[in-house]
Amino acid sequence: MNSPEASVTLVVDGARATVATIGPASLLAVLRDHGHLVVKGACEQGECGSCSVLMDGALVCSCLVAAATCDGATVQTARSLLADDLGAALARHGAVQCGFCTPGIVVAAEAALASGVALTRAAVVDALAGNLCRCTGYQGIIAAVLEVDAARRAPR
């Protein structure tokens, strides 16, 4: 039996799109099917964080979100974040190696940076606890996030 099809309207990285969703398709699947390949999928069980996006400002694993529930949502992927100060800091600290985890890392880190609370090392570790990186050992990632937090707080 075919699964029911529905359509939802999303704003992804500032662009509005109406997309078809079939049955229990995840937000991750729909995003990738519509060209948002910066959003990575690996475990598809909420364990690795590679699929992280901000949905209406909240950090979510897009593999765990049913696309059919997302009508009207605003989704931010790593696309713009990779090009800003955080992406640059990660590169400077050698925190991008194979790069597979990087989109999820920048999204999770941005959620922490946007919290308004000055970040400690422990807070960064906690914020990234759901994002697995098999390459870097995390030290460069943590240093980059702390550097960006300090820079954004510095008087201009």
The residues that touch ligand FES, with contacts defined as CB under 6 A, are: 41-44, 46-51, 61, 63, 96-101, 133-136
Please state the closest distance from residue 61 (CB atom) to ligand FES, in A: 4
The minimum distance between CB 140 and ligand FES, in angstroms, equals 9
Q: How far is the CB of 52 from ligand FES (least distance, A)?
A: 7
Question: How do 52-55 and 74-76 pair as beta strands?
Answer: antiparallel
Q: Which of 18, 25, 19, 27 is nearest to 3 (CA)?
A: 25
Q: What's the rounded Cα separation, in Å, for the pair 40 and 28? A: 8
Nearer Cβ to ligand FES (107/113): 107
Q: Given the complex with ligand FES, which of 7 and 139 has the nearer CB atom?
A: 139
Nearest of 97, 61, 99, 54 to residue 78 by alpha carbon: 54
Q: 55 vs 61, which CB is nearer to ligand FES?
A: 61
Min separation Cβ 68 and ligand FES, Å? 17
Q: Which residues, including other chains, have CB under 8 Å from residue 115's CB and lie 6 or more apart?
A: none
Sheet holding 5-12, edge to edge: 15-22, 5-12, 74-76, 52-55, 58-61
Of 34 and 156, which has the nearer Cβ to ligand FES?
34
